[in-house]
Structure 1
């Protein structure tokens, strides 16, 4: 899903109250759920059609006390939003 697709889906829900909780599924089978904790601009490198690795953006990596302690995103990684659950 792209950000544009997510925006369209969220626009369809603008009738819901602002305090409606957002939860994330643990997996595609719905084997657990957790509330959304954080939205993090990131970089994503797909390893397969359904999984891959998340990296900090270069700006975020450079802002760390020791940027070299964090792996630089591969050149073919793409910008992404990482949605983090509470658990």
Structure 2
């Protein structure tokens, strides 16, 4: 899914009230759920078609108090939107 796909799907839900909760599934089988906590950008490197690694953007990494704790994103990582669960 890309951001355009997500925007289209969210637009179809535009009739719902603003206080409707947004909940993330733990996995594709629905073996657990957690409310959405935040949406942020970052760098993503796919390892397979269903899994990959998250890296901070260069700006995020440099803004950290201890940037050495974070690895620089590989050259083939792409900017992505990450949806973070509460738990």
Shift, 1:34, TM fit:
0.4
Normalising to structure 2: TM-score of the pair? 0.97
Instruction: Determine the structure 2 residue equivalent to 1:63.
Output: 63
Structure 1 segment 4-83 matched on structure 2, within 5 A: 4-83=4-83
Normalising to structure 1: TM-score of the pair? 0.97
Q: Aligned-residue CA RMSD in angstroms?
A: 0.7
Q: Which runs of 5+ in 1 are unaligned?
A: none
Aligned residues: 87
Cα shift readout 1:5-48 (whole Å, capped 9, x = no counterpart): 00011011100000000000000000000000011101000001
